[in-house]
């Protein structure tokens, strides 16, 4: 079975606190008719600090979509390589051992994808598969794990690298005055994450089963309007209620695996806001402490989109992990409304042999097979 190894996380050096966010909201939107509501919603997020790629003075300016997207590409190329090398080191692998790169981001656009640049710049093999995922938002972290898992099921000797790059601050739109937009201005942060799924060996979460669930007729609850000024984030007021619809899907997946979602040993889930986590506690009948890692990510870094599940998982690793064979759930939630879910067991030590689809092919060629 494939193993999700310890992730690597990096956040930008510029920090904005909740108090700074509230003060900016008061000053920039002093005449907003729903200012009191927006301030209350931002306070209720529990986000104490966020990291952003530019100083706040620069973030509040809008030089145009072209300029912002250029900055996205520059910052991605500057920040991603170190995180990738750390993730490879955590997995005990090198660039030659990777057979698939899954790159997820919803806050900038590049074509070719950053995967092509990574292969050229960092020396991955030229036959490395590329899988960019651009339109699953916060659910993309879970989707990346699931697609890497699927790949390793199809090719048991393969290894997949996941890279998440989210610069949410580059989507700030000063002309968007809806309460949902003002709330998002105080909720989202920037981060880069990477993790390896090893087909053979490694330690971490031994992946056993994955699944997806789409809530019908909720396409417009979380969305982007793409305009001349870039991506405009649209957030419906019903979004905080989505766990009532998604929690049953989490329960169903575990039941299909002959597990009880209420009796699992760990939960690593996307932290879109405190209401999401509170409702999961209620609907899944789990102790609030089960979501301590997701809550810590939310408080210290905000909603970092597809990076959340990896940040929360890294906190679990840093805290000593779980006992051998402990059962757990990883889930990302995002636009659609979509849930991407995976079940697995904690594995401290597995067979140490390093392999890859590419090395297996080379071995076959040298032996005259195939």
Whole-number Cα distances in Å, 304 to 1, 97, 100, 309: 29, 29, 24, 9
Does residue 291 lie in a domain region? yes
Q: What is the pLDDT of residues 28-71, one digit of tens each?
A: 889 899 999 989 999 999 999 999 999 999 999 999 999 999 99
Structure-block tokens of residue 42: 């931002």
- Asked if pLDDT for residue 369 goes beyond 60, the answer is no
Residues 165 and 26 in one domain: yes
Residues 39 and 144 in one domain: yes
Residues 62 and 166 in one domain: yes
Residues 212 and 187 in one domain: no
How far apart are the C-alpha atoms of 147 and 103, rounded to whole Å?
11
Averaged pLDDT, 14-20: 95
Does residue 356 lie in a domain region? no
Please state the length of the chain: 370
Residues 35 and 148 in one domain: yes
**Can you give the pTM of this predicted structure?**
0.92
- Beta strand extents in 44-200 (DSSP E only): 49-52, 100-104, 129-133, 159-167, 190-198
Residues 174 and 268 in one domain: no
Residues 57 and 99 in one domain: yes
Three-state SS across 269-302? ECCCCHHHHHHHHHHHCCCHHHHHHHHHHHHHHC
Residues 155 and 273 in one domain: no
Residues 30 and 50 in one domain: yes
The Cα diameter of the chain in Å comes to: 76
Averaged pLDDT, 278-290: 95
Does residue 357 lie in a domain region? no
Can the peptide bond before residue 143 be classed as cis, meaning omega within 30 degrees of 0?
Answer: no
CATH for 136:
3.40.47.10
Does residue 361 lie in a domain region? no
Domain that holds residue 183: 3-198
Domain final residue, candidates 164, 198, 232: 198
Q: What is the pLDDT of residues 203-262, one digit of tens each?
A: 999 999 999 999 999 999 999 889 989 998 888 889 889 999 999 999 999 999 999 999
Can the peptide bond before residue 117 be classed as cis, meaning omega within 30 degrees of 0?
Answer: no
> Please, which pLDDT band fits residue 370 given cuts at 50, 70 and 90?
very low
Q: Which residue in the list 5, 106, 138, 165 is annotated as catalytic?
A: 138
Query: Quick one: pLDDT at residue 351?
Result: 47
Q: What is the pLDDT of residues 249-279, one digit of tens each?
A: 999 999 999 999 999 999 999 988 889 999 9
- The residues near 368 (Cβ < 8 Å, ≥ 6 apart) are none
Total domain count for the chain?
2
Residues 263 and 159 in one domain: no
Nearest to residue 146, comparing CAs of 347, 3, 342, 345? 342
- Asked if pLDDT for residue 166 goes beyond 70, the answer is yes
Active site residue 106: no
> Please, which pLDDT band fits residue 178 given cuts at 50, 70 and 90?
confident
Helix (H) or strand (E) holding 9: strand 8-10
């Amino acid at each position: 079975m494939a193993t999700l190894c310890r992730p690597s996380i990096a956040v930008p050096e510029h920090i904005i606190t909740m108090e700074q966010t509230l003060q900016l909201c008061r000053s920039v939107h002093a005449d907003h008719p729903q200012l009191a509501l927006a301030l209350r919603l931002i306070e209720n997020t529990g986000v104490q600090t966020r990291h952003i790629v530019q100083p706040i003075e620069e973030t509040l300016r809008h030089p145009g979509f072209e300029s912002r997207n250029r900055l996205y590409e520059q910052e991605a190329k500057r920040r991603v390589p170190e995180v990738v090398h750390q993730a490879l080191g955590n997995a005990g692998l090198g660039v030659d051992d990777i057979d698939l790169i899954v790159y997820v981001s919803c806050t900038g656009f590049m074509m070719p994808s950053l995967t092509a640049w990574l292969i050229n710049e960092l020396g991955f093999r030229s036959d490395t598969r590329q899988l960019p995922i651009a339109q699953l938002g916060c659910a993309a972290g879970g989707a990346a794990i699931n697609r890497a898992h699927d790949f390793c099921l199809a090719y048991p000797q393969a290894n997949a690298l996941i890279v998440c790059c989210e610069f949410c601050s580059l989507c700030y739109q000063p002309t968007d005055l809806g309460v949902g937009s003002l709330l998002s201005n105080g909720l989202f942060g920037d981060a880069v994450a990477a993790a390896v799924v090893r087909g053979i060996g490694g330690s971490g979460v031994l992946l056993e089963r994955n699944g997806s669930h789409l809530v019908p007729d909720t396409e417009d609850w979380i969305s982007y309007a793409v305009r001349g000024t870039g991506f405009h984030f649209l957030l419906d007021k019903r979004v905080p209620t989505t766990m009532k619809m998604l929690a049953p899907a989490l329960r169903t997946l575990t039941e299909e695996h002959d597990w009880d979602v209420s009796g699992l040993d760990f939960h690593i889930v996307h932290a879109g806001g405190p209401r999401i986590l509170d409702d999961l506690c209620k609907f899944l009948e789990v102790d609030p402490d089960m979501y301590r890692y997701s809550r810590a990510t939310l408080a210290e870094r905000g909603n970092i989109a597809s990076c959340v599940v990896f940040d929360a998982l890294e906190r679990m690793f840093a805290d000593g992990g779980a006992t051998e064979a402990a059962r757990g759930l990883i889930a990302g939630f995002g636009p659609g409304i979509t849930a991407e879910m995976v079940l697995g067991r904690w594995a401290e030590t597995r067979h140490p042999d390093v392999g890859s689809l590419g090395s297996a092919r080379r071995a076959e060629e040298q032996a005259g097979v195939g």
